[in-house]
Amino acid sequence: MKSRSLGQILVALGFAALGAASSHAETSPLSPIAFLTTHEWEAKLPDSPDGRKMKIHAQFIWSQNHQAILIRNQFLVDGQAKPYIDGLYAWDPRQKTIVFWYVGAEGNLSKGTVKVEGGQLVHEFEEITVDGKSTAYVARVTPHDGAAWDNEILARSGTELKQLVKVRYEIAP
């Protein structure tokens, strides 16, 4: 039997781990949202009332154990970064669905579920403000061939939905 050096064994193990990590997104219960981790994204927003140029810069990365996707989004106002939200997507085995939590820069907590419906990722969630008040929302994320995605956010009042905003995210430069 040919003996191998520790370095050769570590290299072989490294390549095996790389292969497992790259195929994990395909077999993960989080695979419907895994496309978000392929790039950093930017969404142009309408200029502010005082004429400032505004964007959202979005980052989604796999957690080290590949059991969650971490979120870090910032506002870019005239090129200056300002905190927006940080959060997490994970699989809830009891509900058998993707769940998420976002914490806004002001301390508001958004939490909800994600389901695939008609090619869209439908986020049903509530936002709880720092004073404890709650508002229900629906967000419809529509992927476009891995190069862009739309995010339409609607306020829920009973069974009524009212569109608040719709933005398109494209691969960040």
Specify the pLDDT at position 20. Answer: 41
For 30-171, CATH number? 2.40.128.20
Give the range among 18-32, 34-48, 72-86 with minimum mean pLDDT. 18-32
Q: Nearest-CA neighbor of 110 among 93, 134, 92?
A: 134
Pull the structure tokens for residue 114: 């994600």
DSSP state of 127: E
- Its pTM stands at 0.83
CB burial of residue 58 (10 Å; 0-12, 13-18, 19+): buried
Residue type, 31: S
Asked whether the predicted pLDDT for residue 5 surpasses 70, the reply is no
Q: Where in the chain are the domains?
A: 30-171
Q: Residue 24's pLDDT is what?
A: 55
